[in-house]
Amino acid sequence: MKPRISVLTLAVADLERSLAFYRDGLGLPTDGIVGREFQHGAVAFFDLAAGMRLALWAQADLAHDTGLPRTPLAPTAFTLGHNVGGRDEVDAVMRQAQEAGARILKPAGDTFYGGYAGYFQDPDGHVWEVVWNPTMLPTED
């Protein structure tokens, strides 16, 4: 397998609410919800850097598509990392997320590796880390 992840799908309880959080609150680009004409097909895609896409799909529809039972989400199963270019940008994104309705889990602060980071949860409990890591600076888009 080549290390080529192109879509990251998050299961959400309320697709409209999550669309508003990511589109209106965080400002991620999207064409909105597509696939409503298909049973279990409504999804929202967001364009990210380097051709990556974030998808939001109702958890019930994702469970149906995979054949797995619907289970409670486990917020500590994984985190999404948003790497930024500086401390001020970490603070700005954390403020933006909070204003959009995110729950701040850990306010931004210095890290053990010499960086600066904070954590928030989206409306469905997915955990995001907003981080400035001086050894892993993001490339320009």
| pLDDT at res. 141 | 54
0.75 exceeded by the pTM? Answer: yes
Last residue of a domain, one of 66, 95, 114: 66
Same domain flag for 40 and 90: no
| pLDDT at res. 140 | 67
Range of the domain at 123: 79-132
| pLDDT at res. 1 | 85
Same domain flag for 95 and 52: no
Burial of 76-106, coded b for 16+ CB within 10 Å and e otherwise, reads eeeeeebbbeebebbbebbeebeebebeeee
Share of the chain above pLDDT 70, in %: 99
Q: Is residue 112 part of a domain?
A: yes
Q: Is residue 1 part of a domain?
A: no
Q: Is residue 139 part of a domain?
A: no
CATH code of the domain covering residue 14: 3.10.180.10
| Tens-place pLDDT, residues 56-104 | 999 999 999 999 999 998 988 999 999 999 999 999 999 999 999 999 9
98 sits in which H/E element: helix 87-100
